[in-house]
């Protein structure tokens, strides 16, 4: 899987779903063509335009050609966005004929009785996907809400991706409410409440990857204001262009927090922390940086999830995307609902913070665990493996603090491993849309139960929501969370 890092994560998902070789899946995806068009009566609908632009953006990250039939200004915006993503054009403005006879046809809006394509729309909080041949058309764009539009875009992009890679699909007719998390057949779900005016947000955002990108895109569409702190230890790599909704070429090599801040600002002022989570946490636990009531998690691994949970924020929203499954978990401090300690056990194969920092820096664990605010010393150089000594010597000569040295090593690290998780833009986008709806509910005082776990699987087009309780012996019940 070399040669096209931008496609590597969706490509890994395709190979796992189909059993095809990487070469076969790559050829199938890059040869695929999709025609996205907007019904004339919805060309001036803001939600229809949001749906189209998000859908085209997601499709362009995992297939070779996307032709957009829309008013000139809308099509031009899609083409310009494509230039920020790819060295050679993938998105084109044109008619269906320019996409080719075998192109997958996607219609935004209602157009009954035309066989073979996918139709999509939204209404309020609900995104809808159905066949263009469907005679009974669901309500489309009657209640404005960008989250419904982004939900529909993610659902449609997922359906298109699965078709393009050759996965067998169930009958095409379903809808999903980002407000309730429920999924059902067409016309079975309510549009949900009118979009309320949310008060300013004050949040801590931890992990600025795929799902946090999806959340940020949705929150920006809602025009929420406020302040947030963003924490991430990595820079954006070319491999992130496939799954990250906000990524573009000119941000490669920049901290992931900068990508998030650039999108949320100026509506949400973002204070960036380009550092290891374990080096950020003492700001709260030792140096009394205020912990916001709301913490949004976008972490891949279990150990850092546990680290964040042990801060015991008032509300913790954990977002995840794995394979074809979107997931959101909510924990409330003092509530009987399940916390992340009870929800996730650390797997034996997961490299922990200590092992990772030892490998990346050559520092001894007793030094960076207990004395990370002190300078790198000659003794650190002497005790380090040979391959790390030159860099450590430069740090010692400049008087660099150990925490700064660790964060610099993390930001400049490049992964060369072929052992990476499959990731596609639509899974993170849907997770982010659902989490944004939950964020609105939390900000406006709506009841969101602690211990709630929501999941949606793109293979089955099914969702489920359960409320789970931790064992009485868990830390969240034994007084340590108070």
Which token pair is 386? 């040979």
Task: State CA 446 to chain mean position distance.
Answer: 24
CA distance linking residue 155 with residue 430, whole number of Å: 7
> Against a cut of 0.75, is the pTM above it?
yes
**108: CB partners within 8 A, 6+ apart:** 36, 37, 38, 39, 42, 48, 51, 52, 55, 119, 120, 121
Helix axes 5-18, 22-31, angle to 10 degrees: 110
Residue pLDDT tens, the chain, 482 long: 334 788 999 999 999 999 999 999 999 999 999 999 999 999 999 999 999 999 999 999 999 999 999 999 999 999 999 999 988 899 999 988 888 878 999 999 977 666 678 999 999 999 999 987 777 778 899 999 999 999 999 999 999 999 999 998 877 789 999 999 999 998 899 999 999 999 999 999 999 999 999 999 999 999 999 999 999 999 999 999 999 999 999 999 999 999 999 999 999 999 999 999 999 999 999 999 999 999 999 999 999 999 999 999 999 999 999 999 999 999 999 888 999 999 999 888 777 899 999 999 999 999 999 899 999 999 999 999 999 999 999 999 999 999 999 999 999 887 656 778 888 999 999 999 999 999 999 999 988 999 999 999 999 999 999 999 999 999 998 866 55
CA distance linking residue 153 with residue 433, whole number of Å: 10
């Amino acid at each position: 899987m070399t040669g096209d890092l931008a496609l590597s994560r969706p490509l890994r998902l395709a190979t796992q779903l189909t059993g095809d070789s990487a070469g076969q899946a790559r050829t199938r995806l890059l040869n695929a063509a999709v025609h996205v068009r907007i019904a004339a009566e919805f060309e001036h609908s803001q939600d229809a335009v949001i749906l189209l632009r998000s859908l085209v953006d997601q499709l362009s990250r995992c297939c070779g050609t996307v032709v957009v039939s829309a008013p000139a200004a809308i099509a031009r915006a899609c083409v310009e966005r494509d230039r920020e993503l790819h060295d050679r054009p993938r998105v084109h403005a044109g008619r269906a004929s320019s996409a080719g006879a075998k192109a997958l046809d996607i219609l935004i809006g209602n157009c009954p009785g035309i066989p073979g394509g996918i139709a999509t729309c939204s209404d309020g909080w609900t995104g809808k996907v159905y066949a263009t041949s469907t005679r009974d058309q669901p309500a489309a764009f009657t209640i404005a809400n960008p989250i419904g539009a982004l939900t529909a875009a993610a659902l449609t992009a997922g359906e298109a991706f699965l078709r393009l890679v050759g996965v067998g699909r169930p009958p095409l007719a379903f809808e999903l409410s980002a407000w309730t998390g429920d999924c059902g057949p067409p016309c079975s779900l309510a549009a949900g409440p009118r979009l309320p005016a949310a008060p300013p947000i004050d949040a801590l955002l931890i992990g600025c990857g795929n799902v946090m990108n999806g959340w940020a895109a949705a929150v920006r569409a809602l025009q929420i204001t406020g302040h947030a702190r963003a924490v991430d230890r990595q820079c954006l790599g070319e491999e992130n262009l496939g799954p990250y909704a906000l990524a573009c070429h000119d941000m490669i090599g920049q901290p992931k927090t900068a990508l998030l801040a650039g999108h949320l600002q100026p509506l949400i002022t973002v204070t960036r922390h380009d550092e290891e989570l374990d080096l950020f946490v003492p700001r709260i636990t030792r140096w009394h940086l205020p912990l916001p009531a709301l913490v949004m998690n976008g972490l891949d691994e279990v150990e850092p999830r546990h680290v964040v949970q042990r801060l015991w924020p008032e509300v913790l929203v954990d977002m995840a995307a794995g394979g074809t499954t979107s997931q959101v978990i909510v924990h409330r401090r003092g509530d009987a609902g399940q916390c992340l300690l009870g929800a996730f056990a650390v797997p034996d194969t997961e490299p922990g913070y200590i092992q990772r920092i030892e490998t990346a820096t050559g520092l001894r664990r007793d030094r960076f665990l207990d004395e990370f605010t002190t300078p790198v010393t000659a003794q650190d150089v002497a005790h380090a493996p040979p391959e790390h000594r030159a860099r450590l010597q430069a740090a010692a000569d400049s008087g660099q603090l150990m925490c700064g040295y660790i964060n610099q090593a993390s930001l400049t690290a490049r992964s060369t491993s072929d052992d990476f998780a499959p990731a596609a833009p639509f899974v993170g986008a849907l997770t982010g849309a659902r989490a944004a709806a939950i964020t609105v509910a939390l900000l406006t005082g709506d009841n969101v139960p602690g211990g709630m776990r929501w999941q949606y699987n793109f293979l089955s087009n099914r969702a489920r929501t359960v409320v789970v309780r931790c064992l009485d012996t868990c830390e969240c019940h034994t007084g340590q969370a108070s």
